[in-house]
Amino acid sequence: MKLAHFETLAPVCPLCRRQGSDHALHLAVVEQESRGDIGAGILQCTACGAEYPIIEGLPILVTDVRQFVQQNLFYLMARDDLTPAVEGLLGDAAGPGSALDSIRQHVSSYMWDHWGDRDPQGFAAVPGDAVPGGVVRVLEEGLALAGALPLGPVLDIGCGAGRTVTELAQRTGAMTLGIDISIPLARAGRRAAVGGTVNYGLRQAGLVYDRRTYPAGQDEDSLADIWICDVLSLPFRNDTFALTNALNVVDCMVDPRAGLMEMSRVMKPGAASILSVPFDWSGHVTPVEAWLGGHSQRANHAGRPEAILDMLLSSGPLAAGGLRRQGEPREIPWHVRLHNRSCMHYSACLVAARESME
């Protein structure tokens, strides 16, 4: 956790925030620190005394730390210093469907897209002629759609493997914070975006992975950092950010409308927001009643997700705070590489919005 980000963004206690109060966090314990980057320590609420750990530079700012740790203990304790041969043997022993298999597949897919265009080894052809860097291309179109931005920090929601954090910092020149709820992705993403080294296993087939380690391709960026936060309970005061970016993450929220309202809350009046949504829902993550379309085809919107998203970004009973759509949506291709012989192809709905000045 970079001290500059902590001091500038002045995060508040997530537990108090959910109860409607903004109480500042302070740095109570520092166990590892290097050049203004806190590797390990504890943040504490100045009011209720709640404690939030900093692990591998990632502050965990969620409402229920106890529950989060219990649910993510395997990922928190998982080693990332195993040699490729030993990791491969353990992967074979754990087998398909294990927590280790889940980590490796997830990180492989997203690190390939975020950082694969800078891999000096290159890649074998991927089905459908998919190439890495799709998330950067979506971001470029989103920034063009959003137009001029006010001054202020940037929040990259669901930043995953971290490439968009560095791109936003470089393209806007503003302090940029990426947040994600996935520990394995945030860990790998911070190592690349902040530490400057891409390091992950690229899935070839089945349980076979090829270790890829190379420079991320940019100098250490003082404007970029990554934290563990939940979009449904953002640990920030109202009117903090000039831009929020959420690429392919709305359909990964437990409650998309509540998530959009939280985004609206922390945005400055006139701030911009970029959203891309493939509307690829999972009932294990988002209850069906919270999906934006894909059900209730008997309603006026006929189950069309684009129509419901438009209602959330317009004035009316479903309005998600002060967010208002700007311009017309676009359809953007997005690829998720699974292994050498498999790639999922999506068409994401790209939308820009502005926070109301009222």
pTM (2 d.p.): 0.96
CB 16 within 8 A of CB 48: yes
Strand stretches in 284-322, DSSP E:
none
Tell me the residue type at 146: A
State how far the Cα of 76 lies from the Cα of 222, in Å rounded to an integer.
25
Tell me the residue type at 186: A
Using DSSP's 3-state secondary structure scheme, residue 104 falls into helix
The helix (H) or strand (E) run that includes residue 201 is: strand 197-205
State how far the Cα of 96 lies from the Cα of 303, in Å rounded to an integer.
35
Q: Which token pair is 74?
A: 């395997």
Report which DSSP code applies to 286: S
Helix then strand then coil, in percent of the chain rounded to 5, is: 35, 30, 35
Long-range contacts of 92-99 (CB under 8 A, 24+ apart): 92/207, 95/207, 96/206, 96/207, 99/74, 99/75
Long-range contacts of 176-179 (CB under 8 A, 24+ apart): 176/223, 176/224, 176/225, 177/5, 177/9, 177/153, 177/225, 177/226, 177/227, 178/224, 178/225, 178/226, 178/227, 179/155, 179/226, 179/227, 179/228, 179/229, 179/231, 179/234
What are the structural domains of the chain?
3-77 (no CATH), 84-355 (3.40.50.150)
Q: pLDDT by residue for the chain (358 residues), tens digit each?
A: 999 999 999 999 999 999 999 999 999 999 999 999 999 999 999 999 999 999 999 999 999 999 999 999 999 999 888 999 999 999 999 999 999 999 999 999 999 999 999 999 988 888 888 999 999 999 999 999 999 999 999 999 999 999 999 999 999 999 999 999 999 999 999 999 999 999 999 999 999 999 999 999 876 678 999 999 999 999 999 999 999 999 999 999 999 999 999 999 999 999 999 999 999 999 899 999 999 999 989 988 888 999 999 999 999 899 999 999 999 999 999 999 999 999 999 999 999 999 998 7
